[in-house]
Amino acid sequence: MGRLELVVLGLTCCLAAVSAAKLGAVYTEGGFVEGVNKKLGLLGDSVDIFRGIPFAAPTKALENPQRHPGWQGTLKAKEFKKRCLQATITQDDTYGDEDCLYLNIWVPQGRKQVSQGLPVMVWIYGGAFLMGAGHGANFRKNYLYDGEEIATRGNVIVVTFNYRVGPLGFLSTGDANLPGNYGLRDQHMAIAWVKRNIAAFGGDPNSITIFGESAGGASVSLQTLSPYNKGLIRRAISQSGVALSPWVIQKNPLFWAKKIAEKVGCPVDNTTRMAKCLKVTDPRALTLAYKMPLAGMEYPMLHYLGFTPVIDGDFIPDDPVNLYANTADIDYIAGTNNMDGHIFASIDMPAINKDKKDVTEEDFYKLVSGLTITKGLAGARSTFDVYTKSWAQDPSQENKKKTVVDFETDILFLVPTEIALAQHRANARSAKTYTYLFSHPSRMPVYPKWVGADHADDIQYVFGKPMATPLGYRNQDRTVSKTMIAYWTNFARTGDPNMGHSAVPTHWDAYTVEKGSYLEITKKMDGSSMKQNLRTSYLRYWTLDYLMLPTVTGDGAAPAPPSGDSEAAPVPPSGDSEAAPVPPSGDSDGAQMPVVVGF
């Protein structure tokens, strides 16, 4: 830094101090950045907002992120940068940019002097490792992941950032040629940048909380498990997704790498040559070479997620379940929504949302067998029996549809979260552990009345949308939102969601393996909101009875891609021993069978 710049920095500070509390230009490792100061109300409070600060150099396809070389002069950080290159929702085009590793910062300011030593909350977005952006979906400049409400209500700094997704973020040959996990390494670069630079914005580098939802929640979990983040992360919050969720780790990345290579005309028989070729292929073509099927799939949706994190022996050195010693001093909240599986169940079985359509035993058996393939016929049958126990007594369609949702909620979210909590607790030294169940019902008018909190419903409340856009919400929604922001930001500040800047409606007891205490988050919270042992009999089933069943397929079985040809469909049990669910066998590319739930 030149002398002149130092003088400029000094002047900015002093001028800011005498007029009103705002940061002005901030000196970072890359150079000066200047955001905008947004006044709030009449009391003189404000929020400093920085949009689009580079935390790494522009990316090179399928390469690890590199440090940014820095810039001359003052970088105007006033607009969100483009998202990382990804397929549009229709999957026939791309948007975003390869130059995408930017972050955004919200710093709350009081009237008198600029904030100092604030806790920092870094958000990791979800989107199946396939889509998403640090600023989130938006409607007329109202961005989903706008940090302002959390920052100003909780008196914390909020950071959001972009990371690579889809093939560009996660394609791997399963060997040193393309180790994968580029998107995870981007996330780590952002966290490390915050650690090195946030003090200049008034943040406490020793109080960094990472939080995220779905694939973002799983990413949060993976970042706490990776040795690369040692000493960087103080606390973490996983909403509806952990490293142990069955959709997170890709066990056979080469299978999917070959699919892409074939599509874009790269060699498939030699990973050295494949990698070389893929790296010089148009990144748009790589992105479009993978399509997530969204209807008419032979198997549950889970099996078609090709591009997710891998165990690369380095960033993720081992199976995540073996890495929990790395979280011994990281305070952790992990929780789920009471109908997290609803959206996935309705994709797998559209009758769920149609009052006039029925769910049948055959449909459900097919779904169950599609998600219990490693355990073959015995796994499908015992799981089917456990889940349909109530059907004889209550054969109503509502009960059956709820059962399907519970089944997917358990497999995709609840059970892996419970296992992660137990692992975290068992390995904890100084770390505290908390868990919640979010139950404020979905507001989607097209859903049946019985639908509870669907996947991703929690995000709008954490980001304070009911206050930011009051016309779209009811008072009860604002209550839920203020409650969540209070618990979340208290936790970021002290490691205890009950203590900090904001009052909370009731005490949230820490989780223990013995009691399984969890906080149920609803519009009306009091002493009865603390509950115990969420769905223990099902948890016991999955972690004991089911696990004990002999495995009939190898762990390395390849997932089947969408192939659309007439493969034998799994059939319901009919009492004769030949009625085993049949995995796909006729795929011309030599695919074996769908990968399996990780437990």
Helices 376-387, 397-409: axis angle to 10 degrees equals 130
**Least distance between ligand NAG and beta carbon 270 (Å):** 4
Of 273 and 501, which has the nearer Cβ to ligand NAG? 273
Which is closer to ligand NAG, CB of 99 or CB of 175? 175
Q: Single out the catalytic residue among 340, 410, 454, 477.
A: 340
Pair 380, 584: CB distance under 8 Å: no
What character string, x for contact with ligand NAG (CB under 6 A) and - otherwise, covers 268-287?
Answer: --x-xx--------------
What residue type is assigned to position 12 of the chain? T
Decide the pairing of beta strands 45-54 and 31-34: unpaired
Q: Closest approach of Cβ 267 to ligand NAG, in Å?
A: 8
Q: How far is the CB of 272 from ligand NAG (least distance, A)?
A: 4
**340 catalytic per annotation:** yes
Crossing angle of helices 215-225/182-197, nearest 10°? 70
Residue 177 CB, shortest distance to ligand NAG, in Å, is 9
CA distances from 39 to 109, 111, 241, 393 (A): 9, 10, 36, 60
* Interface of this chain with ligand NAG, residues 453 to 512, rule: CB under 6 A: none
135 assigned to active site: no
Measured from each CB, the residue nearest to ligand NAG is 270
Q: Assign 3-class secondary structure to 92-142.
A: CCEECECCCCEEEEEEEECCCCCCCCEEEEEEECCCCCCCCCCCCCEECCE
User: Kindly report the CA angle at 240 between 237 and 242, in degrees rounded to 5?
Assistant: 70
Q: Is 176 in the site for ligand NAG (CB under 6 A)?
A: no
**Taking contact as CB under 6 A, which single stretch among the options 28-36, 266-274, 464-472, 542-550 is the one that binds ligand NAG?**
266-274
Element (H, E) at 531: strand 530-531
- Cβ-based nearer residue to ligand NAG, 276 or 501: 276
- Among the residue ranges 243-251, 265-273, 400-408, 488-496, the one whose residues contact ligand NAG (CB under 6 A): 265-273
Q: Which of 135, 188, 303, 455 is catalytic?
A: 455
- Residue nearer to ligand NAG on the CB measure, 205 or 267: 267
Least gap, CB of 273 to ligand NAG (angstroms): 5
Size of interface with ligand NAG, in residues (CB under 6 A): 3
Contact between 27 and 9 (Cβ < 8 Å): yes
Based on CB atoms, which residue is closest to ligand NAG, 82 or 273?
A: 273
Tell me the closest approach of the beta carbon of residue 313 to ligand NAG, in angstroms.
20
DSSP state of 440: P
Q: Which of 443, 452, 430 has its CA nearest to residue 240?
A: 452
Of 263 and 273, nearer to ligand NAG (C-beta) is 273
Residue 233 tokens, joined: 């992360």
Catalytic residue list contains 430: no
What is d(CA 296, CA 324) in angstroms, rounded to the nearest whole number? Answer: 38
Among the listed residues 115, 172, 207, 214, the single catalytic one is: 214
Given the rule CB under 6 A, which residues bind ligand NAG? Answer: 270, 272-273
List active site positions: 214, 340, 455
